[in-house]
Structure 1
Amino acid sequence: MMRTAFQHAADELPADAPSREEHIAPAPRISVQAFCEAVETAAAVQSAGEDRRLDKAHVKIQMGGMTAAAEAYRASPTPNVIILESEARPDVLLAGLDALADLCDPGTRVIVIGRHNDVALYRELVRRGVSDYMIAPVNTLDIVRSVCGLYSAPDAKPVGRIIAVVGAKGGVGASTVAHNVAWSIARDLSLDAVVTDLDLAFGTAGLDYNQDPPQGIADAVFSPERIDTNFVDRLLSKCSDNLSLLAAPATLDRVYDFGANAFDSIFDSLRASVPCIVLDVPHQWTGWTQRTLLAADDILVVAAPDLANLRNAKNLVDYLKAARVNDHRPFYALNQVGVPKRPEIKPADFAKALDDAPAAIIPFEPQIFGTAANNGQMIAEVAGNHKIAETFRHLAQLMTGRTEVRKVKSGLFTPLLEKFRKKA
């Protein structure tokens, strides 16, 4: 029987993309079957099934609407979620749902897509236990939001946001940026956060936070059968009141070859218990790093101002934009800007090539960064009033959806940078 609380779906959110503040939690491993009447609806469901938030769901689509659904379940068990489209009058729709209810297994949830914006119809659907009602036409994010929303109860703890930080090239300081952004998320935004060092052989998070934990991410990834929230919690090292570290062993006593899904269980456990997870992703292109970036809620690409970084950053951003069409485009930051006597590609040229302004421009300050690295401290601890510390605070707000990209001070490239911001 269909017995779940009705969730009002006629929201007014933009249809083409989620807002920066909106966080749609991924759905668990469920089966979803859709019975559509319009090809446009079938296309939207198909596209939703390819979205990263429904990556674990098995989505099947069939044309024929209510009639096809009733026929399909006469001799077959129902899936976790049924999506039904009906262009019929409200009385015909309700009669069809009554007939289908007798065929549904306990726990099956039903989403209805109809053509009538009618309060009386809403009430009847509520009474019959329909989980969600959407008014056609619907788009990809409508479907994603509706299905995922079934598994995010209003009183449940929010599912953690994953922020992936990756360098466009080795040696550009992506790890330093990731660690300082995570520190600022925890200290300045008072959000519980976990830094996860994914460079198991050469990771520096332990050094940067002056930590030497006996356990870390290697214990989890090499013992997948033991992974749950409690096990992962025991592996975390406390860095501050709101910040914990899942450290890399940074040893060479074994090789670290992983399958594409190796970190899925770890990330799922972290999502279930921590509001914000910052992933320090090493500069490599493997099945698991690709999957990690594609599955992240937000991505920050760190680049230095040279040609190789420009090419790599553009390749990364273009690929991730095309593969994550329902997500905000990746952000990028320029680091180590202003090295004396070094020819550099200007921020405006990066903005033109990437069709977007940098989220931050971090100057080359060897004294500050060197002192922080050698002392196992963050920039805010070494130079709390310096503009670089403020830059990391800004990135922390931006990556958690707390603010929009700030304006840079007026200068030679301001008009060009503003032009590309408006396109983002």
Structure 2
Amino acid sequence: MDVDKAHKTIVLVSTDSDFLKETRTAFAASEAIELTVVQKNIGDLHGEIIQAEPGAVIVDLDAARVAELDALQRLMRRIEGRVPVLVVSGTFDAAAARILVQLKVADFLIKPVTTADLVRSCIRALKGPGRDEQSEARIHSFVPAAGGVGNTTLALQTAFQLHAAAEEGASTCVVDLNLQQGACAEYLDLEPRFDITEVENQPERLDRQLLEVMLSQHQSGLYVLAAPARPTEMRTFDTDVVVRMLDLVSAYFDNVVIDMPRTWFPWTETVLLGSNKIYIVTELTVPCLRNTQRLIQACHQSAGKEVDPGVIVNRFESRRFDGGVSQADIEALLDGHFVGGIANNYKLVREAVDRGLPLHEIDPNANVVADLRRIVLPGQTGRRDDAGRSSLLAYGRRLFRRTG
């Protein structure tokens, strides 16, 4: 039932007097929602949530304190998923994000929280899962198993495919997270405009207006967020900067395709946790396939089984050569993670890269176009994560959402 058709109670658990005052003001004018305040630390609750029978719960806690996260876990066990829980905190890090993903909280907001963002999150929670999925970005991340496997090419061509197949008015953005040596802008003959040094010390400065300045647009309508290449640099960037950037992109685009670097950074796990689909791009050599196995294990060890990458074998030859690797060998080696191969069509791919065009504009019937479409377009993969991970898809953007 819609929230405007039924009276709903939201319980707010907080000891922050300023936040309590702001939240009371935010809901004071609502006839559909009644706010009940429990002015206690989450660790001091004794059945107040269950007794109130709320439609949703807002928990204000310190995500850096293990005791408060443990108390949140106990609360989530008691309510057994019957009531959506929104978490508000003044701190954020990758470890806390991982715990909140595992607990399946409905949303996670960072103070200072704007009243508009808080009310929108509460309304989404009251509507229940699946009611607002069309407004969530679909996030596809591409991870290379080695250099030269075609990760950037497949990420860009996937973005073109998604953009061409989307409903009228839908938007698509490619995010090049190779922040020192990215090539997405070069492949499309665009000027990379994302100056990360301008916001790395003040990630809150990155807002919608600044994002628009830093985006590049391809003639197809595809947007690209890419930093100028700095091949002599080797450094990392704070997780807050990357999360803030992905927050904004996923808030304003329907499809987001991320070109990941080979190096595993402190923010890599957070990006993978927030992705709807993860593809490891590899090629048909034994060393590359072995490294692909290691990447799958790394994903599971650092981010848990919720992160279930699919493997794309680029320049795939189905015919077995003497001493080569067969498709049966690949499927056995990758233990269910193989999602398909992309035909070896070097001439077409080189032309597309040199001209900065989608493959399907040059040859819509090409084998490589058909192979990629079978893998990446919704409803055509047949993998279990198409349906089974819809809740993670909805959380993907929430994980990236930061208020500024």
Shorter-chain-normalised TM-score: which range?
0.5 to 0.7
Q: Over alpha carbons, which structure has the higher Rg?
A: 1
Tell whether the 8 Å contact from 1:161 to 1:277 is kept in structure 2 after alignment: yes
1:244-393 map, 5 Å: 244-252=223-231, 255-325=234-304, 327=306, 329-338=308-317, 344-356=324-336, 358-393=338-373
User: Counterpart of 1:334 in 2: which secondary structure?
Assistant: strand
Q: Which runs of 4+ in 1 moved over 6 A?
A: 30-33, 104-108, 339-342
Aligned residue for 1:206? 185
> Alpha-carbon deviation of 1:252?
4.0
Letter in 2 for 1:288: W
The structure 2 residue matched to 1:144, chosen from 97, 104, 123, is 104
> Alpha-carbon deviation of 1:251?
3.3
Change (3 A) 1:107 1:219: closer
Q: Aligned partners of 1:78 and 1:259: how far apart in 2?
A: 30
Please state if 1:5 is matched with 2:8: yes
> Alpha-carbon deviation of 1:31?
8.3
Q: Aligned partners of 2:229 and 2:307: how far apart in 1?
A: 33
Tell whether the 8 Å contact from 1:178 to 1:279 is kept in structure 2 after alignment: yes
Q: Aligned partners of 2:242 and 2:183: how far apart in 1?
A: 19
> Alpha-carbon deviation of 1:253?
6.7
> Alpha-carbon deviation of 1:334?
0.3
Aligned residue for 2:161? 184
> Alpha-carbon deviation of 1:318?
2.3
> Alpha-carbon deviation of 1:346?
2.2
RMSD: 4.4
Tell whether the 8 Å contact from 1:6 to 1:131 is kept in structure 2 after alignment: no
Tell whether the 8 Å contact from 1:85 to 1:112 is kept in structure 2 after alignment: no
User: Counterpart of 1:201 in 2: which secondary structure?
Assistant: coil
Q: Aligned partners of 1:405 and 1:192: how far apart in 2?
A: 24
Q: TM-score, normalised by structure 1?
A: 0.60
The structure 1 residue matched to 2:382, chosen from 405, 408, 424, is 405
Letter in 1 for 2:359: I
User: Counterpart of 2:288 in 1: which secondary structure?
Assistant: helix
Cα deviation, 1:298-323, whole Å, max 9, x if unaligned, reads 21100001112111111111232344
Letter in 2 for 1:347: Q
The structure 2 residue matched to 1:236, chosen from 206, 215, 232, is 215
Cα deviation, 1:139-187, whole Å, max 9, x if unaligned, reads x989516567747355878232322101111110111110100111111
1:100-249 map, 5 Å: 113=78, 144=104, 146=106, 150=122, 152=124, 154=127, 158-190=135-167, 191-215=170-194, 219-221=198-200, 224-240=203-219, 242-249=221-228
Count of residues in Structure 1 that have an aligned counterpart in Structure 2: 306
Q: Aligned partners of 2:341 and 2:191: how far apart in 1?
A: 31
Tell whether the 8 Å contact from 1:306 to 1:345 is kept in structure 2 after alignment: yes
> Alpha-carbon deviation of 1:391?
2.2
Change (3 A) 1:83 1:379: farther
Compare the two structures and name the one with the higher helix fraction: 2
- Stretch of structure 1 that moved more, 290-299 or 214-223: 214-223
Give unpaired runs (5+ residues) of structure 1. 8-29, 34-72, 87-92, 116-121, 123-129, 133-139, 407-424
Change (3 A) 1:344 1:177: farther
Q: TM-score, normalised by structure 2?
A: 0.62
User: Counterpart of 1:271 in 2: which secondary structure?
Assistant: helix
Report % sequence identity.
21
Cα deviation, 1:100-139, whole Å, max 9, x if unaligned, reads 9xxx99999x989569xxxxxx9xxxxxxx868xxxxxxx
Change (3 A) 1:259 1:351: same
- Stretch of structure 1 that moved more, 286-295 or 153-162: 153-162
Tell whether the 8 Å contact from 2:174 to 2:256 is kept in structure 1 after alignment: yes
Aligned residue for 2:33? none
Give unpaired runs (5+ residues) of structure 2. 1-5, 16-37, 62-74, 86-99, 109-120, 384-404
User: Counterpart of 1:359 in 2: which secondary structure?
Assistant: strand
Q: Aligned partners of 2:230 and 2:299: how far apart in 1?
A: 31
Letter in 2 for 1:317: I
